[in-house]
């Protein structure tokens, strides 16, 4: 333990309850992102939601890296995480009004940008402190954040002040630039993953939190509706769908990937963590949030015999497709093997949007859950449960 009271993470380090408290702020942010997507019912609202989710995700992953370097349940890091929690909560409050007309009030957008940058600055200071005598890590922190933060801030601030049709594109450029700079300066760099168990558990928990958002969407979709039989059946199917999504990630993927990460050391381990978790898990979470939006739309119309429509169908089928594809590519990055059946089902869901758009909401939910159950059953046969280990599935 240092003079500042912080403790370095070890290989046996696991997720602390304070990190779980920290993550709850991001659940609220996920809910706000879903609200942006659902509220607009358009391609533009989806773009806006993806951009904001990218900024939120970049903030969360940066602190996941930090907590693998330094224990989060004591000392100066606990104080820093508390400050970041407050900033992220304010950022989430600003999300609904962040995108404004060119002649509108930019206050929410500026607040969001200010909180995002302050969260990153706090992270940078804490990470430099945690690096201690590790000169390579200190240099990595300064290079990555020293390049990315000023450029990202300039693009975000310009977009916030500009508003109108250009704002989401300016913010998209900021998010992509930030992600690109971080990747370019990090892959092959000097980041450290001390505890693969902590790392995999932390990302597994954020997947659980995102799935919780999909469950919340079920209730939001029918909160003001009478409890007709269609609502009850739709709710049962929706919860079953959430369990299917959980099964697709946690039944074998999460533990197998953790073991694969633990077998690596040094730069190969940090590179696998960067690509497999920091970047590909963004697509996993985005798939869940798209699915949650589709569920909320479907539950709003669950008693109707009219077609679901293009937006709801694209969100529901497209979200599930993206989620499945992201887990496939994640598994490929971690183990070098493909989940062929899952990839085929993911690809088949995209043209399935056409069918989903022209059939009633109840039928859409039923078909989605049935396909998920069938996929899990097929994978159980071609990828048998190991007795003592979690080997890679067959090609």
- Which residue, 130, 154, 186, sits at the end of a domain? 186
Q: Are residues 149 and 269 in the same domain?
A: no
Q: Are residues 65 and 121 in the same domain?
A: yes
Q: What is the pLDDT of residue 43?
A: 93
Tell me if 6 is assigned to some domain. no
Q: What is the pTM of this model?
A: 0.94
Tell me if 250 is assigned to some domain. yes
Tell me if 2 is assigned to some domain. no
Q: Are residues 205 and 145 in the same domain?
A: no
Tell me if 86 is assigned to some domain. yes
Q: What is the pLDDT of residue 393?
A: 45
Q: How many domains does the chain have?
A: 2
Q: Are residues 112 and 145 in the same domain?
A: yes
pLDDT average per 10 residues of sequence, the chain (395 residues) = 49 82 93 91 95 97 94 81 97 97 96 98 95 95 97 98 97 98 97 95 96 81 78 92 95 94 96 98 97 91 93 96 98 96 95 95 95 93 57 43
Q: What is the pLDDT of residue 7?
A: 53
Tell me if 166 is assigned to some domain. yes
What is the CB neighbour count within 10 angstroms for residue 200? 25
Q: Are residues 114 and 149 in the same domain?
A: yes
Tell me if 1 is assigned to some domain. no
- Which residue, 168, 186, 204, sits at the end of a domain? 186
Instruction: Find, among 279, 88, 51, the residue nearest to 170 by Cα.
Output: 51
Q: What is the pLDDT of residue 117?
A: 97
Distance of CA 265 to the CA centre of its chain: 25
Tell me if 3 is assigned to some domain. no
| Domain around 280 | 196-382
Tell me if 363 is assigned to some domain. yes
Q: Are residues 144 and 230 in the same domain?
A: no
Q: Are residues 212 and 141 in the same domain?
A: no
Q: Are residues 169 and 204 in the same domain?
A: no
Q: Are residues 233 and 369 in the same domain?
A: yes
Q: Are residues 169 and 218 in the same domain?
A: no
Q: Are residues 285 and 157 in the same domain?
A: no
Q: What is the pLDDT of residue 10?
A: 62
Q: Which residues contact 273 (CB under 8 A, 6 or more apart)?
A: 191, 193, 199, 261
Q: Are residues 212 and 351 in the same domain?
A: yes
- Which residue, 164, 186, 208, sits at the end of a domain? 186
- Rounded Cα gap, residues 364 and 280, in angstroms: 27
């Amino acid at each position: 333990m240092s003079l500042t009271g912080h403790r370095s993470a070890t290989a046996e380090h696991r997720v602390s309850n304070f990190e779980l408290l920290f993550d709850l702020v991001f659940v609220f942010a996920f809910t706000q992102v879903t609200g942006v997507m659902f509220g607009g019912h358009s391609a533009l609202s989806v773009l806006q939601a993806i951009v904001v989710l990218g900024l939120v995700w970049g903030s969360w992953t940066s602190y996941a890296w930090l907590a693998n370097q330094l224990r989060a349940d004591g000392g100066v890091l606990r104080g820093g995480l508390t400050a970041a929690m407050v900033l992220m909560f304010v950022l989430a409050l600003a999300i609904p009004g962040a995108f404004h007309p060119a002649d509108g009030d930019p206050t929410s957008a500026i607040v969001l940008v200010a909180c995002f940058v302050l969260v990153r600055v706090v992270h940078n200071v804490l990470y430099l402190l945690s690096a201690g005598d590790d000169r390579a890590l200190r240099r990595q922190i300064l290079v990555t954040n020293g390049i990315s933060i000023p450029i990202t801030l300039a693009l975000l601030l310009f977009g916030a002040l500009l508003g109108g049709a250009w704002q989401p594109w300016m913010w998209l450029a900021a998010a992509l630039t930030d992600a690109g700079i971080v990747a370019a300066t990090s892959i092959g760099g000097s980041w450290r993953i001390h505890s693969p168990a902590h790392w995999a558990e932390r990302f597994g928990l954020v997947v659980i939190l995102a799935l919780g958002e999909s469950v919340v969407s079920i209730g939001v979709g029918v909160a003001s509706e009478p409890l007709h039989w269609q609502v009850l059946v739709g709710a049962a199917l929706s919860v079953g769908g959430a369990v299917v999504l959980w099964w697709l990630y946690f039944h074998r993927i999460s533990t197998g990937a953790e073991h694969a990460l633990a077998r690596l050391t040094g730069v190969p381990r940090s590179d696998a963590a960067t690509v497999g978790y920091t970047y590909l898990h963004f697509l996993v979470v985005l798939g869940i949030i798209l699915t949650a939006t589709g569920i909320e739309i479907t539950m709003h119309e669950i008693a109707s015999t009219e077609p679901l429509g293009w937006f709801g169908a694209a969100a529901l089928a497209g979200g599930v497709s993206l989620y499945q594809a992201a887990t496939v590519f994640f598994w490929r990055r971690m183990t070098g093997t493909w989940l062929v059946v899952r990839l085929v089902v993911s690809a088949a869901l995209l043209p399935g949007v056409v069918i989903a758009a022209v059939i009633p909401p109840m039928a859409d939910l039923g078909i989605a859950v049935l396909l998920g159950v069938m996929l899990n059953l097929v994978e159980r046969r071609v990828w048998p449960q190991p007795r003592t280990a979690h080997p890679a599935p067959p090609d």
